Structure 1
Amino acid sequence: MVEKQGIVGQAMSTVVTSWSIKRTGAVFVSTFSPVSLVSATLFDFLILRSPLYLGSIIGSVVTITGLNVFLWGKRSETDQTVSKILTTSKSCQMIENEDNMTVDDNNTKLPV
């Protein structure tokens, strides 16, 4: 009976990890590995009715907190990169628009 639960637990862990990798990218592979330990502890407590120790709870909280801090930092980094790209893109468009203008005798810019 225990072997079947181990197989089901590993399958669920693999599905969740694969889904999160597909959704967020390959950078997060090593980040989501500790989540399987937390889920194993949770399933062990809920399904097998084994005792839950203080060390397991503290370890789970630290793991989840670390994961959230990493994801927050990665999102912040991604947002900064996107804003830099958008700013650079707008500057290039403005320069491009200025290059397509010519100056006439009245000192005003006209489209080419």
Structure 2
Amino acid sequence: ALPGVGRKTASVVLNELGIEPAIAVDTHVFRVSHRLGLANAATPDKVEQQLHKIVPEAWLPKAHHWLILHGRYTCLAQRPKCPGCVISDLCPSRASFMGV
């Protein structure tokens, strides 16, 4: 309800202050969620809703950090590093990038 503060920023603040577990959906979270088959929605708000339904409550405070870091360093937008990815065996998109 703060002027100039969007949903993503509000989610980050609520999560980081321990007020409410939230998943802030940025471009990394959006991309990784789709590639892993965790979400298929077309908007960040809808992806957030889908992730809230499947991520266990205990993992919610850290989930968006894990997805952001995975998207930033491993599951890159242009050239994902699938051969070095620790969850590539679970990824339905790996065939698109590894030629499997």
Q: TM-score, normalised by structure 2?
A: 0.25
- Choose between structure 1 and 2: higher helix proportion: 1
Q: TM-score, normalised by structure 1?
A: 0.23
- Choose between structure 1 and 2: higher strand proportion: 1
Which has the larger Rg?
1
Q: Which has the higher contact order (CA 8 A, sep 6+)?
A: 2
